[in-house]
Amino acid sequence: MLALENVSLSYQSRRKSFDHGAHHVLDGVSLEVYEGETLGIIGRNGVGKSTTLRLMAGILAPTSGKVRQRPGKTASLLTIGLGFRPDLSGRDNAMLAAMLQGASPKQARSYLEEIKEFSELGDSFEERVKTYSSGMLARLGFTTALKTHVDILLIDEVLSVGDARFREKAAAAMKSRISGDQTVVFVSHMEAQVRDICNRAVCLHEGAVLAEGDPVEVLAAYGEVSR
């Protein structure tokens, strides 16, 4: 469905600790995402997990290497508040998000009540999202992506946000979605979520792939470098 081929990403920094002012976020990363799988990406803070998702979504362009996606397939990045317009209501943002993911206006409108109910936003669904807490934004973003259809769903830490009850509800809904044909790439710091939800995992370390394969084995490799 999607592949990173020897992808590197760097940017200029004024900090003298970086060689020649260049900060290397990713260095020669290659990985593939297969149809219908749930791929977990784990690693310590700053290793490039969220950057990898943004490259997959086309939000960032690599400094070198290629990002290839199967023609005709759509990928959506689900992260807290990404793409939301703060001056619009939750309902209007859900409508726009669904249309950006390929729904017709009629289809998008048909999703709205279900999005409102699952997200548990109540009357706040009609309020501008600039009044939302981070947990409310996460619930709106997660539910909008869950209830609409994209070929590749890219999830950045969202299941780690919010109260425990909603996290359990979101995880159960995602497992149900995964049991179908949804392709998912999932970033999390929570090892239990990666172990329970993903059927393959990648550990990033110092901008490169440290381990790839069975989640239990990859989490063991992650444990070694995170001590």
CA distance 134 to 116: 17
pLDDT along the chain (227 residues), means of 10: 95 59 86 93 90 91 95 74 84 89 86 94 96 86 80 76 76 75 85 88 95 96 88
**CA angle, 84 as apex, 79 and 87 as ends, to 5°?**
150
CA distance 79 to 154: 8
Rounded distance between C-alpha atoms, residue 173 and residue 199, angstroms: 16
Is 0.95 topped by the overall pTM? no
Reported residue count of the chain is 227
- The pLDDT, as a whole number, for residue 20 is 55
Measured between alpha carbons, how far is 218 from 41 in angstroms, rounded to an integer? 10
Residue 146 has what pLDDT? 78
Report pLDDT for 37: 92
Which of 165, 140, 178, 146 is closest to 40 using CA atoms? 178
